[in-house]
A and B are shown apart, each in its own frame.
Chain A
Amino acid sequence: MNKNILITLKKEIRAILREKKSLIIMLLTPFIIPFYFIAFSYIFNGMMSEVDNSYTDTNHSLKYEVGINYNLNETEEQIINNLNLNMVKYETEEELKKAYQDEEIVAYIVYEDKNYTIYVNDMDDESTIAGNLIESYLSTYNDYLANLYLESIDADKDRVYHNINYKYVSLEGSNMMMNTLISIGFTFAVMSICLTAIYTTTDTMAGEKERGTLETFLTFPIKSHEIITGKYLAISTSCIITSMIDIFLIVLSLLISYKSFNVYKNAILNVNGLSILIAFIILVSFSLFISGLCIAISSKSKTYKEAQSSLTPISLITIIPMFLTTAGVKLNLGMSFIPIVNHTYLLQDLLLGKYNILYLMITFITTIIYTILIILVISRIYKKEDTLFQN
């Protein structure tokens, strides 16, 4: 490497390591990832267990109170005893409505002319669960009556119920919770790299102007492209350090969450040496890109404040892929040309074992092209006097 670039790189790295704010952002922001993984998994695991228990645990002390306007026969009572329901008899539909309004019951069934009508409130969790249990009760009772009929006419029940055999296999090998976890996890990772780039760029570029040290620097026997390359490499190095911490914490948190929480029991993770290496390379390429982008955007800024204002929107852009994932949008050819979006998507797809090699190649190649273009632009900008001088 060119001697002057190396000296500048050393100088800038030393400045970054001695600047507390940049150092904290660079080293500590990735630690939000394990906290998020554990907290998210704990909450969702709890929620899922509660829902599961609601359906299956008949010894559960709290039963769902459901109103009915008819008498249960012995069979119905047996079915209901196996579910987590407590049926309360009322005489009329009006009484049922009033009982629901008075919160004595969470749902009710009106039986009229051999028709059952189930009344539930979809906005209320307890009422929804009770509704599902009622459907289960009526379905089981319906099957019981069908069985009785088939027996009475001496029909072959298998010809009615078991004409075909099937089993359920999840092709994606993952579950929604794991997708969400990884999506938000990598959004945090990309965001932490962005924050590192923003803080180190602000200090390295605008800070040098605001402190008045740039004039000293420009008198040294060094070309402007050597100054900017040294600065660029220092900012990129900081981002790569953040990337390394990110990837280590993501893999560690993912494995701990996967093994510790039942909510991920159906998920298949693609965590191995190769996937970790590719994920790290994606984060490194992203670091090189975002460092250049931050320098280009803040190059005209003369003060910390100006630089911060111009760079803050970048950190907001990083959450777009998370929203797209939540909306069910998948990575496609067009999106694989869009930086930040393609990086975040590829990272999450990679660890879920479903990445597309074409999109991966497009992301790498376009990132390299964008980064080279940005470096050329910032080298030109950094020669201009209106970029270098305050007034």
Chain B
Amino acid sequence: MIEVKNVFKEFTKITKKKKESLLAVNDITFTAKEGEIVGILGPNGAGKTTLLRIIAGIMQPTKGEITVDGMNYQKNDIAIKKEIAFLSGNTKLYKDITGYELLKMCGEYYDIPKDNVEDIIKEIVQEFNLENFINQKIGTLSTGQNQRIAIARCTLHSPKYYILDEATSGLDTILSQIVLDFIKKERNKGKCILYSTHYMEEAENICDRVVIINKGKIVKIGTPEEIKKLTKTTNLRDAFFTLIGGSHE
């Protein structure tokens, strides 16, 4: 289980004239359990990416604590990272290596025994239909092929937790569906997925619970049904705008 406890993140910008502080994440607390997809929803600049980076161990919180299966980053950062896969819409892969080389390198970082890594790569290649381009340099692949390699990379070490930040952002309908199918499949295997998006329909379809945040603060946590009922709306998009006090027109 991932537990986010009273997490704060403050950024400081020092200019010639003054020192500005920005509270990107403001006292966020929630949990995510195995076998559920938790959507992190919010407008641009709400603090979603910062929050997910903190949970993935890429950034340090200014205050508060993240625990994964009872372990925290101060003492067990490597053990936690071995249980997590992080995929972001901004994440890019190394262009000068082949998909196979990337997967093999990831296998080495995640301590997968050499004898097993070849078998695992074979399984992944079949599962994600990578046969035709796995030995091509990543820089020569299409966006869709890149995304499939990126997802394959995440599954290599069989993580318990997936942290997906705007993973469908900028993808066409078919590619988005590949990502969404993957998420559902992993949830059915009992994995926990933290999924940030600003596509409300997408979140309504796949999330078991959603955490709506705005200006770094949690506005509401609940299942899509609970949130719609609370806001007396018929879809998550309307519920979202009701909660953050904006208009979608």
User: CB distance A15 to B94 under 8 Å?
Assistant: yes
CB distance from B107 to the nearest CB of A (A): 10
User: CB distance B60 to A385 under 8 Å?
Assistant: yes
What is the number of contacts between chain A and chain B, taking CB atoms within 8 Å?
66
User: CB distance A7 to B88 under 8 Å?
Assistant: no
* Given contacts A212-B92, A219-B84, A7 and B108 within 8 Å (CB-CB): yes
Contacts of A212 in B (CB 8 A): 90-92
CB distance from B32 to the nearest CB of A (A): 17
Contacts of A380 in B (CB 8 A): none
Q: A223's contact among B78, B93, B111, by CB below 8 Å, is which?
A: B78
Contacts of A211 in B (CB 8 A): 92, 94-95
Q: Is A265 positioned at the interface, with any CB of B under 8 Å from its CB?
A: no
Q: Is A213 positioned at the interface, with any CB of B under 8 Å from its CB?
A: yes
Contacts of B217 in A (CB 8 A): none
Binary CB contact string for chain A from 212 to 223 against chain B (1 if under 8 A, 0 otherwise):
110110111111
User: CB distance B82 to A215 under 8 Å?
Assistant: no
Q: Is B110 positioned at the interface, with any CB of A under 8 Å from its CB?
A: yes
Report Cα–Cα, A18/B139, bound state, in Å.
12
Q: B58's contact among A3, A14, A213, A219, by CB below 8 Å, is which?
A: A219
User: CB distance A215 to B91 under 8 Å?
Assistant: yes
User: CB distance B91 to A222 under 8 Å?
Assistant: no
Q: Which of A198-244 contact B (CB under 8 A)?
A: 211-213, 215-216, 218-223
Contacts of A219 in B (CB 8 A): 56-58, 81, 84-86
Q: Is A21 positioned at the interface, with any CB of B under 8 Å from its CB?
A: no
Q: Is B1 positioned at the interface, with any CB of A under 8 Å from its CB?
A: no
Q: Which of A15-55 contact B (CB under 8 A)?
A: 15, 18-19
CB distance from B102 to the nearest CB of A (A): 9
CB distance from A207 to the nearest CB of B (A): 10
Q: Which of B45-66 contact A (CB under 8 A)?
A: 56-60
CB distance from B21 to the nearest CB of A (A): 14
- Range class of the A interface residue count: 20 to 34
Q: Is A11 positioned at the interface, with any CB of B under 8 Å from its CB?
A: yes
- Nearest to A18 among chain B residues (CB) is B96
User: CB distance B90 to A221 under 8 Å?
Assistant: no
- Range class of the B interface residue count: 20 to 34
User: CB distance B97 to A14 under 8 Å?
Assistant: yes
Report Cα–Cα, A222/B82, bound state, in Å.
10
Q: Is B105 positioned at the interface, with any CB of A under 8 Å from its CB?
A: yes
Q: Which of B89-138 contact A (CB under 8 A)?
A: 90-97, 101, 105-106, 108-111
User: CB distance B95 to A221 under 8 Å?
Assistant: no
Report Cα–Cα, A53/B241, bound state, in Å.
95
CB distance from A295 to the nearest CB of B (A): 19
Q: B88's contact among A11, A18, A215, by CB below 8 Å, is which?
A: A215
- Nearest to A14 among chain B residues (CB) is B97
The listed residue with most B CB atoms (<10 A of its CB), out of A3, A19, A211, is A211
Q: Is A303 positioned at the interface, with any CB of B under 8 Å from its CB?
A: no
Contacts of A19 in B (CB 8 A): 96
Q: Is A4 positioned at the interface, with any CB of B under 8 Å from its CB?
A: yes
Q: B93's contact among A14, A15, A216, by CB below 8 Å, is which?
A: A216
User: CB distance A220 to B94 under 8 Å?
Assistant: no
The listed residue with most A CB atoms (<10 A of its CB), out of B59, B94, B101, B111, is B94
Contacts of B59 in A (CB 8 A): 385, 389
CB distance from A21 to the nearest CB of B (A): 12
Binary CB contact string for chain A from 122 to 135 against chain B (1 if under 8 A, 0 otherwise):
00000000000000
* Given contacts A215-B58, A385-B59, A221 and B96 within 8 Å (CB-CB): no
CB distance from A344 to the nearest CB of B (A): 34
Report Cα–Cα, A19/B153, bound state, in Å.
23
User: CB distance A221 to B92 under 8 Å?
Assistant: no
CB distance from A300 to the nearest CB of B (A): 13
CB distance from A215 to the nearest CB of B (A): 5
Q: A221's contact among B88, B110, B153, by CB below 8 Å, is which?
A: B110
- Nearest to B105 among chain A residues (CB) is A11
CB distance from B109 to the nearest CB of A (A): 4
Report Cα–Cα, A221/B73, bound state, in Å.
11
Contacts of B91 in A (CB 8 A): 212-213, 215-216
Contacts of A215 in B (CB 8 A): 58, 86, 88, 90-91
CB distance from A239 to the nearest CB of B (A): 20
Contacts of B108 in A (CB 8 A): 3, 7
CB distance from A342 to the nearest CB of B (A): 37
* Given contacts A385-B59, A385-B60, A220 and B109 within 8 Å (CB-CB): yes
The listed residue with most B CB atoms (<10 A of its CB), out of A11, A216, A222, is A216
Report Cα–Cα, A56/B105, bound state, in Å.
72
Contacts of B106 in A (CB 8 A): 220
Residue pairs across A and B with Cβ atoms less than 8 A apart, 24 shown, are: A3-B108, A4-B109, A7-B108, A11-B94, A15-B97, A18-B97, A19-B96, A211-B92, A212-B92, A213-B93, A215-B88, A216-B153, A219-B86, A220-B81, A221-B78, A221-B82, A221-B109, A221-B110, A221-B111, A222-B81, A222-B109, A223-B77, A385-B60, A389-B59
Shortest 9 CB-CB distances between A and B: which pairs? Answer: A212-B92, A219-B86, A221-B81, A18-B96, A220-B109, A221-B78, A218-B58, A7-B108, A221-B82
Q: A14-B96, A216-B153, A221-B81 are in contact. List 13 more A-B contacts (CB 8 A).
A: A11-B94, A15-B94, A211-B92, A211-B95, A212-B90, A212-B91, A215-B58, A216-B91, A218-B58, A219-B58, A219-B81, A220-B110, A221-B79
